[in-house]
Amino acid sequence: MPKVYVKKDFFFNDGEEVKHYEVGYHEMDEATIDHWFVQAHIGDAALMQENKARTAELEQQSIEKDARIAELEQQIAALTAENTPNADKPKSSNGK
């Protein structure tokens, strides 16, 4: 039996019994999958997997960019300290 992704839980009466399908992957026979009511509650599993893969890829890119930003901020701080005269010396209380 094919496995399909249920995107919204529902009860389905096939004429013999009422089955409850919760959100997630379920095995269903072709006749059940083809029913119009079931079609309204299932998603495209391949598309869901593709979206998960793309989301993971984008999350990784975000982590890498955050690391690069932190690295550049450290470089800016170092260059600012190097190029600021008397940045390390405390100011005297009499203004000299």
Judged by DSSP in three states, 6 sits in strand
Token digits of residue 80: 């600012």
Token digits of residue 21: 């399908």
Cβ-proximal residues to 15 (8 Å cutoff; 6+ apart), any chain: none
The tens digit of pLDDT for each residue in 74-85 reads 999 999 999 888
Can you tell me which residue has the tokens 């010396």?
89
pTM: 0.45
Answer for the pair 14, 36: CB distance below 8 angstroms, yes or no: no
Q: How large is the average pLDDT for residues 18-30?
A: 92
The tens digit of pLDDT for each residue in 42-64 reads 987 666 667 778 888 999 999 99
Answer for the pair 49, 57: CB distance below 8 angstroms, yes or no: no
pLDDT above 70 coverage of the chain, percent: 84
